[in-house]
Structure 1
Amino acid sequence: MVALELNDLLAKAGLDPARTLVMRHRPTEPALRRTLPWLAQDRPDVYNAYQSQHGERVEVALRRATHLASFIGNQARTALFVGVYAVAGHRVLTEQQFWKIPQNNDLRALGTRGPANGRDSLWFDLRLAESLAALKGRLVIEWSGIERSWWRWAGRNVLPVRAIHEESQLVPPMPDWQSLVLDWPALQALPARWRQALSHWRGIYYIHDRNTGRGYVGSACGAENLLGRWTAYAASGHGGNRQLRGLDPAGFAFSILQRTSPDLAADEVIALESSWKERLHTRKPHGLNDN
């Protein structure tokens, strides 16, 4: 039985492997590496912004390509398919113009550094094609050869198909609430299916500041429950809490101490919150709670 290869799929879709550049994105920035699959699933405009600007060597190659086959390196020596993009052109951007693109500021919050050395760079017009769209998040290929070689021409390489899953692998199921720990950058890129779960959960949450070792206990029983509170932290870093102002939210870790009944009275939720503050000693000066 002949093994199926990426080039077989490209050719069947009417794409020329000789003019298709394949990229396996694996950001060096930790927060961006963790959340890039989420962006590919729920924020395709931000994901596409990530791959629309490159260094000089890649610029030269991408100018010669008709299509880009985009993958994410979420596991060793394999690549998870996101989509095929037509290379419709490019334009020169200054660093100032680069940061005026809204999606690039979303990426900056996740750690991206932008154009190297502040140089003018090319911004590619990459347009998502219908080709192989049904395989998004499902197709896994073997990234043969040198793993750190993250881009290559399809026609010059053999990239065997490892698997075609029934469901998308871009966003894993929501972890059990007792094992859920999210850092601040992750709050800004939460997948839609995780956001939905958090909007139904109310209870007591904990913020650990890794930089100082201190903690903050809060409660969520208002609009959108935990999602509502954590969205406020994602936007401002401090969520309106005085003791959190001035701290670096990049060092915050968010977890859930206790889930409560969705119809538990607000005063009972506040009483539980107070109990957790006592047990974890999070009131100032030892912790980050004012009261």
Structure 2
Amino acid sequence: MNLNDLLASEGIDPSQVIVMRHRPQEPELNKVLPWLAAEKPDTFNAYQQTQGTAAENAMRQLQGKGYIASFIRHAPTKALFVGVYKIGATTPLTPEQYWSVPAYQEMKAFGMYGFSENDGREHVLWFDLALTDFYADWKGKLIVGWPPPERSWWRRSHRNVMPVLAVLEQSALDAAMPEWDQIDLSWEELAVLPMRWQDILRQWRGIYLIFDQSDGKSYVGSAYGSSNLLGRWLSYAASGHGGNRLLRQRDPRNFRFTILQRASPDLEAEEVIRLEGTWKERLHTRAPWGLNDN
């Protein structure tokens, strides 16, 4: 069984399909692209709705009749299924119009280069890509083989054999969260945390650190409310400062979020606050040396 067999079984001609295996060059975007596919499908789709010259020309040839079979690099020689999209109408975008699109602004925060005047084109084509119901239940679960060369990230489906290697029980897009003492997140990543991560962080009380990369100063905080660590971090994701006076004066794009100490969800709030105070003392995060004002 291979991808072309699956396409044909659903009445899709493989000769009308371009297969894309997305692997952004930008490290931060490469890290969060699976999260976007899982949690923000419209933003993920925006990533593939504009392309470089070669892929753009190939898509234009199939406009109105063809499809994009969208995958994300899963491992060397493997690709993880996201969906099949019908190729519709196009809209030309100038660099200014391109960067006015909210999805591209969002991905720019993760380092996306995107379309610019240095690209050599006056405009880029934005494709209307409509997600189909093709094996929708296998999103994040279907893994196919990706034939060499590895760097060739898009292919004509009928010219390639991509064997079905596995269908996972759970989606691999929202990967398992690392151990709590290995979590190190940017401010932008807080807004796209996978649901699996959110469910775990919602259970944990604890002490966290916000490190400002611009000057090395830090802030220690505690989480013990109804949503625990998740609630506090989502507050920072929304406001950038979480209501803290000294953080209001800073650019949250420089912040990194880590956990200093995980606590039981039934630990009394007073004890969590006491632990928070000990970390402030040990790390010297009270002003003027740090960003805690109490």
Structure-1-length-normalised TM-score = 0.90
Distance in 2, matches of 1:246 and 1:77, equals 46
CA contact (8 A) 1:52 1:126 kept: yes
1:245-256 equivalences in 2 (<5 Å): 245-256=248-259
RMSD between aligned residues: 2.1
Could you tell me which residue of structure 2 aligns to residue 67 of structure 1?
67
Q: Does 1:170 align with 2:167?
A: no
Q: Does 1:207 align with 2:204?
A: no
Could you tell me which residue of structure 2 aligns to residue 227 of structure 1?
230
- Cα shift readout 1:113-158 (whole Å, capped 9, x = no counterpart): 3313274211111111112222211111222122111111111122
1:262–1:161 Cα change, 3 Å: closer
Q: State the Cα distance separating 1:56 from its structure 2 match.
A: 2.0
Could you tell me which residue of structure 2 aligns to residue 198 of structure 1?
201
Could you tell me which residue of structure 2 aligns to residue 9 of structure 1?
6
- Cα shift readout 1:186-238 (whole Å, capped 9, x = no counterpart): 11211122223222322211122344333221112235221222112223433
Could you tell me which residue of structure 2 aligns to residue 285 of structure 1?
288
CA contact (8 A) 2:95 2:117 kept: no
CA contact (8 A) 2:49 2:127 kept: yes
Q: Which amino acid aligns with 1:87?
A: I
Could you tell me which residue of structure 1 aligns to residue 55 of structure 2?
58
CA contact (8 A) 2:174 2:195 kept: no
1:161–1:262 Cα change, 3 Å: closer
Q: State the Cα distance separating 1:246 from its structure 2 match.
A: 5.0
Distance in 1, matches of 2:240 and 2:80, equals 32
1:88–1:110 Cα change, 3 Å: same
Distance in 1, matches of 2:231 and 2:40, equals 20
Instruction: Give 3-state SS (helix, strand or coil) of 1:14's partner.
Output: coil
Distance in 1, matches of 2:171 and 2:266, equals 34
1:29-178 equivalences in 2 (<5 Å): 29-65=26-62, 66-117=66-117, 119-178=122-181
Structure-2-length-normalised TM-score = 0.89
Write out the 4+ residue segments of structure 1 that deviate beyond 6 Å after TM superposition: none
CA contact (8 A) 1:199 1:228 kept: yes
Could you tell me which residue of structure 2 aligns to residue 258 of structure 1?
261
Q: State the Cα distance separating 1:266 from its structure 2 match.
A: 3.5
Instruction: Give 3-state SS (helix, strand or coil) of 2:87's partner.
Output: strand
Q: State the Cα distance separating 1:254 from its structure 2 match.
A: 1.3
Instruction: Give 3-state SS (helix, strand or coil) of 2:175's partner.
Output: coil
Distance in 2, matches of 1:238 and 1:9, equals 48
Q: Structure 2: state its 5+ residue gaps.
A: none
Distance in 1, matches of 2:203 and 2:212, equals 26
1:232–1:281 Cα change, 3 Å: same
CA contact (8 A) 1:204 1:217 kept: yes
Distance in 2, matches of 1:160 and 1:169, equals 18
More divergent stretch after superposition (165-174 vs 57-66)? 165-174
Number of aligned residue pairs: give it. Answer: 288
Q: Structure 1: state its 5+ residue gaps.
A: none
Distance in 2, matches of 1:238 and 1:89, equals 41
- Cα shift readout 1:158-194 (whole Å, capped 9, x = no counterpart): 2222222222111122333233222222112111222
Task: Report the identity percentage.
Answer: 53
Distance in 2, matches of 1:174 and 1:196, equals 10
Q: Which amino acid aligns with 1:21?
A: I
1:162–1:116 Cα change, 3 Å: farther
Distance in 2, matches of 1:48 and 1:136, equals 14
Instruction: Give 3-state SS (helix, strand or coil) of 2:137's partner.
Output: helix
- Cα shift readout 1:86-115 (whole Å, capped 9, x = no counterpart): 112211123333333332332222222331
Q: Which amino acid aligns with 1:219?
A: S
CA contact (8 A) 1:19 1:64 kept: no
